Amino acid sequence: MTSVVLLSGGMDSTLTAAIACAESDTVAAVHFNYRHRTERRELAAFQAICDKLGITKRLVVDAEVLRQIGGSSLTDEAIPVSKADLAATDIPSSYVPFRNGTFLSIATGWAEVLGAERIYIGAVEEDSSGYPDCRKVFFDEFEKAINLGTKPETHIRIITPVIAMKKSEIVKKSLELGVPLELTWSCYQSEDEACGECDSCALRLRGFELAGATDPLSYAKRPRYA
Binding flag, residue 216, a copy of itself (CB under 8 A): no
Q: Which of residues 88-127 bind a copy of itself (CB under 8 A)?
A: 91, 95-102, 104-106, 108-110, 112-113
Cα–Cα distance list, 78 to 40, 68, 103 (Å): 19, 13, 24
Return the number of the residue (5 or 96) whose C-beta is nearest a copy of itself.
Answer: 96
Count of C-beta atoms within a 10 Å radius of residue 163 = 20
CA dihedral 25, 171, 124, 7 (to 10 degrees): -40
Q: Out of 78, 80, 87, 152, name the contact with a copy of itself by CB under 8 A.
A: 152
Contact flag: residue 80 with a copy of itself (CB under 8 A): no
Residue count of the chain: 226
Among residues 102 and 190, whose Cβ is nearest to a copy of itself?
Answer: 102
Q: Which of 22, 65, 88, 175 binds a copy of itself (CB under 8 A)?
A: 65
Rounded CA gap, 146 and 108, in Å? 7
Helices (DSSP H) in 164-198: which residue ranges? 167-177
Number of C-alpha atoms within 13 angstroms, CB side, residue 43?
A: 14
Least separation in angstroms between CB 6 and a copy of itself: 13
- Among 129, 135, 130, 133, CA closest to 202: 129
**How many residues of this chain interact with a copy of itself, rule: CB under 8 A?**
43
Nearer to a copy of itself, 112 or 126 (CB): 112
In whole angstroms, the minimum distance from the beta carbon of 3 to a copy of itself comes to 16
Contact in structure between 70 and 30 (CB atoms under 8 Å):
no
The sign of the dihedral angle between the CA atoms of 27, 5, 35, 169 is: negative
Residue of 12, 125, 127, 133 that binds a copy of itself (CB under 8 A): 133
DSSP, collapsed to helix, strand or coil, labels residue 83 as strand
Residue 43 or 61 having the CB closest to a copy of itself: 61
Span from 37-45, 147-155, 181-189, 218-226 in contact with a copy of itself (CB under 8 A): 147-155
The nearest distance, CB 29 to a copy of itself, in angstroms, is 14
Contacts (Cβ under 8 Å, ≥6 apart) of 197: 83, 84, 189, 220, 221, 223
Q: Pick one of 48, 61, 210, 213: the residue that binds a copy of itself (CB under 8 A).
A: 61
Report the interface residues with a copy of itself, using CB under 8 A.
Answer: 59, 61-66, 68-71, 91, 95-102, 104-106, 108-110, 112-113, 132-133, 135, 137-138, 141-142, 144-146, 148-152
